[in-house]
Amino acid sequence: MPEVVVNYVAVVVAAVASVVLGAIWYGPLFGKVWMKAAGKTKSDIDKSKGDMPKMYAITIAGSLATAYVLAVFIGWAQVTTIALAVILAFLVWLGFVVTSSLGTVVWESRNQQSFLIDVSYSFVSLIIMAAIIVVWPAY
């Protein structure tokens, strides 16, 4: 495998962008629809407010890991344009996110609307992260 230099600043910026997108996605954009599809109520959300710092810490760690691995894939594939970054993000999304998430619909009878909201968020998030990483190359 070729040696890859990762721009850690781009990884952090990409991870933060993903978390911000998540706050918007599951807030004003699709929050009410997602809550209904996931079988959650406002009361359920209010009960978890004390756990929010822990949940955000886990979310940020996951976003950092995703952005780092995406940066490595971008380096290995020698992606240098936003168009190629979008293609790579799509392939990662389709090959890993969608396929691994399908089990929750098939085996756990998860609501399909909730599934679609979640995988759509992942798709947009991966595209944004890949674009940031490509635009902000390592030196």
pTM score? 0.92
Q: Report the SS3 class of residue 137.
A: coil
Segment 36-58, tens digit of pLDDT: 998 888 888 888 888 889 999 99
Domain coordinates of the chain in residue numbers? 8-135
User: Are 92 and 126 within 8 A, CB to CB?
Assistant: yes
Segment 94-112, tens digit of pLDDT: 999 999 999 988 998 888 9
Is the pLDDT confidence value at 139 over 80? Answer: no
Residue closest to 38 by CA, chosen among 102, 96, 105, 94: 105
Mean pLDDT, the chain, rounded, equals 94
Record the tokens describing residue 31, joined without a space.
Answer: 């929050």
Cβ burial 7-38 (10 Å sphere, 16+ → b, else e): beebbbbbbbbbbebbeebbeeebbeebbebb
Q: What percent of the chain has pLDDT over 90?
A: 79
Between 1 and 13, the higher pLDDT residue = 13
